Structure 1
Amino acid sequence: MRADQVIIEPVLTEKSNLARELEIKKYTFKVDPRANKFEVSQAVKELFSVTPVKVNIVSVKGKPKYTRGRGGHIAGTTGDWKKAIVTLAKGDVIQAVEGL
């Protein structure tokens, strides 16, 4: 799998922004569900030219959603996805996520 296929997009939430701003840089990405830690580490190294120290992977379950239709309420869920939390070496910064 190519590096641009492994990492789909950065996750920019309040919790992930706080983790990124601390002294230990932790970046959160939405990744391909088939990707493992080694592929994510190599993709971050190749795409952003930084050195990942640690990679944690979390499978996120979809949330329940309801919609109203002609026959009443229709139950469904959002899709399951995989999240990677990448810890970088001290002094490394990913410019694309930081917006600098």
Structure 2
Amino acid sequence: MKKIILSAAFLAFAGLTTVKANTISTSAIVIQQDSTTKTPVKLEELPDAVKTTLKGDKYKDWAPATAFLVTSADKKEWYQVDLTKEGQTASLKIGKDGVVVE
């Protein structure tokens, strides 16, 4: 009789363990990394097309402060030029061809 009770207790314990094991769920964590890179560029080393855009009528009152060559994850490149004017600051995206990217 002892063997039957012990066997029944063991089976009941194993059944409970199995039920608990089936109710555990797992989740995955996905992390995206921004692979955009910004490389500082000296203002005098900007391409001539970019310099021409900055000297144009629309931006002639703004003074370039810093510039970066930005490369996105899909390998597109443009220049980010930070401008100042009478205490105001602005940032401008300009393609290598001198066209302002909106």
Under a length normalisation based on structure 2, what TM-score does the superposition of the two structures give? 0.30
Using CA pairs under 8 Å that are at least 6 residues apart, name the structure with larger relative contact order, 1 or 2.
1
Structure having the higher helix fraction is: 2
Under a length normalisation based on structure 1, what TM-score does the superposition of the two structures give? 0.30
